[in-house]
Amino acid sequence: MWHLQRSTLVCILVGLLALFTHNPAEAGMFGWFKRIDVQVSPEIKGAITLHDKPQADMVIKRGTFFEDSWSWDSTRTDADGHFYFAEKTVKAREVLHERQVAVRLLALDYPTKGDEDLFFRLSSSHNLKSRSSDLLTDGMHCELSAEYTMSYLKSLEYPNMDWHGFQSKCRFLHADKVIVSQAELDAAELEETWRGIHSLLAYITQNASEMDTDDFIRFHVRSSAESGLAMLHKIRELETDIDKLNTLPNFEKKFQHYLNKLNKEDQR
């Protein structure tokens, strides 16, 4: 009797499942039941120094941000200043909106007793888990007296994705694999500066005819020409491609032409 009831129940459930999933709009609703591991902190192996001296027995606090709130745990450095945090994950439903996940590390009682010094912060959307962040925190040497600066993390899984910034006072064991080098940053900035030059010139030429009659246009043509000239100087410092360098005088001439024209009209 029970077997019959159970098989009937299974049939009904299977039928309902088929009915719901038949409609593509409904099919997704079963994602409600899907729970995945969201990494809120990778495994962290680090060392703390102050003026290059290892800091022993220092309390290191780790904050993880998930679902709109922070949770905290802590550890102490050993005699050599080393500290360790295990990977931390939470079970959660998969989401498609931007769900912020972040990890922070703070050194306690620095610079003075009772203070907290933030020396590392990494954030992402959806999940921190990636080959890049795992490698990043696999060996980090943090100097508390160093400046807290922005570096950029490459995505090893998706190399075409925008580099994502993180802040720290640390040097990283696998920096060569996962952190964007200064040369790569300079190349990206150079590319953006060239784009900027082209867009400024396009704006000026599009609007030059209204320069005499419209004060707003005059202001922005002047500003664009001045910015264009300044950016050409920057390109001269960074560009190594001879062919591109040879085009600079032509751009300079064009920006200067509009600037002279505006100056003459102003004098008049």
Partner 1 sequence: MSIPVLTPNIAAALAADVYDTIEMPAGAEFTPATGVLKTFFDFSRQGGAIHGRSGGLLFRRDSGFAVIGKGKSLTPYANSIAIAFRGTQTGYDWLSNTNTRTVTIENQTQAHKGFYELFKSMRPAMEQQLNPLLRNNAHAIVHCAGHSLGGALAQLAAIWIKKFYGNKVALYTFGAPRVGLKNFALQAPGSVDATYRCIHGDDPVPLAPVWPYYHAPYNGQVVRLTADTGIRVSSHKMRKVPHCYQNSARGDWANLISRERLQRQVFLKREDHHKVTFSEYWMNQIWDALTTLLRQSGGASAFVFGLQGLGAGVHSFYDNLAIELEKSGMNQQHSVHLEGLLACMLAFAGKRVIRAIELTARFIRWVFRQVLSVLDRAVRQAIQQVK
Question: ω before 159 within 30° of 0 (cis)?
Answer: no
Identify the residue among 116, 134, 226, 252 touching partner 1 (CB under 8 A). 226
Residues binding partner 1: number (CB under 8 A)? 63
- 37 vs 80, beta carbon nearer partner 1: 37
Which one-letter amino acid corresponds to residue 37? D
Q: Which long-range contacts (CB under 8 A, 24 or more apart) does 133-138 make?
A: 133/42, 134/42, 134/43, 135/174, 135/177, 135/178, 136/42, 136/166, 136/172, 136/174, 136/178, 136/179, 137/42, 137/43, 137/44, 137/45, 137/46, 138/43, 138/45, 138/173, 138/174
Identify the residue among 206, 236, 244, 260 touching partner 1 (CB under 8 A). 206
Footprint (CB under 8 A) of partner 1, residues 82-121: 93-100, 102
Write the binding mask 148 to 167 for partner 1: x where contact by CB under 8 A, - elsewhere.
--x-x-----x-xxxxxxxx
Phi and psi based region of residue 81 (left: phi greater than 0; alpha: psi -120 to 50; beta: remaining)? left
- 58 vs 88, beta carbon nearer partner 1: 88
The distance of closest approach from Cβ of residue 152 to partner 1 in the complex, given in angstroms and rounded to an integer, is 6
How many CA atoms lie within 13 Å of 77's alpha carbon, on the beta-carbon side?
A: 23
CA pair distance 47, 66, nearest whole angstrom: 26
Residue 186 is a binding residue for partner 1 (CB under 8 A): no
Identify the residue among 74, 145, 181, 223 touching partner 1 (CB under 8 A). 223
Q: Give kind and range of the element (H or E) at residue 164.
A: strand 164-168
- 104 vs 142, beta carbon nearer partner 1: 104
Residue 256 is a binding residue for partner 1 (CB under 8 A): no
Q: What Å distances lie between residue 36 and 28, 67, 234, 249, CA to CA?
A: 16, 14, 47, 57
Residue 126 is a binding residue for partner 1 (CB under 8 A): yes
Tokens found for residue 92: 């959660």
Residue 6 is a binding residue for partner 1 (CB under 8 A): no
Q: DSSP assignment of 50-63, as one string?
A: ETTEE-TT-EEEEE
- 82 vs 220, beta carbon nearer partner 1: 220
Write the binding mask 35 to 64 for partner 1: x where contact by CB under 8 A, - elsewhere.
------------------------------
Residues making contact with partner 1 (CB under 8 A): 22-26, 28-32, 34, 65, 67-68, 70, 93-100, 102, 123-126, 150, 152, 158, 160-167, 180, 185, 188-189, 192, 195-196, 199-200, 203, 206-207, 210, 214, 216-217, 219-220, 223-224, 226-227, 230-231
